Amino acid sequence: KQEVTQIPAALSVPEGENLVLNCSFTDSAIYNLQWFRQDPGKGLTSLLLIQSSQREQTSGRLNASLDKSSGRSTLYIAASQPGDSATYLCAGPNQAGTALIFGKGTTLSVSS
């Protein structure tokens, strides 16, 4: 059964810092992993999707990596800004590939 864990649960940093959010999963046979952003009271915005054949994906200041052998993914945010404050969720497919299983998220607060 796929389980997804995210650490830390919460993170507060000053503006400008580079930071890493961690995600681990139990089923290493996953074929992709997706990172989302959720702002308070809002829906989910897809940030990055990494296929199992890829080791990382980049979008602007965001870089996500995937290491299937260790069951880990990281989301790297460079030069953090107050606008990055949100909850970041990682999700991978369940073993049947019929739904996404989410971690509980990391709530990021970037102060100016």
Could you say whether residue 105 binds another protein (CB under 8 A)? yes
Residue 21, interface with another protein (CB under 8 A)? Answer: no
93 binds another protein (CB under 8 A): yes
97 part of the interface to another protein, by CB under 8 A? yes
CB 62, min distance to another protein, A: 15
Beta strands 106-111 and 56-59: pairing type?
unpaired
Q: Are residues 36 and 46 in contact, defined by beta-carbon separation less than 8 angstroms?
A: yes
Q: Does 58 bind another protein (CB under 8 A)?
A: no
Q: What are the residues facing 101 on neighbouring strands?
A: 92
Residues 6+ apart with CB under 8 A from 101: 2, 3, 4, 25, 91, 92, 93, 94
Residue 63 touches another protein, criterion: CB under 8 A: no
- Report residue 102 CA to chain centroid gap: 10
Return the number of the residue (65 or 87) whose C-beta is nearest another protein.
Answer: 87
Which residue among 12, 18, 51, 70 contacts another protein (CB under 8 A)?
A: 51
Question: Is position 46 an interface residue for another protein (rule: CB under 8 A)?
Answer: yes
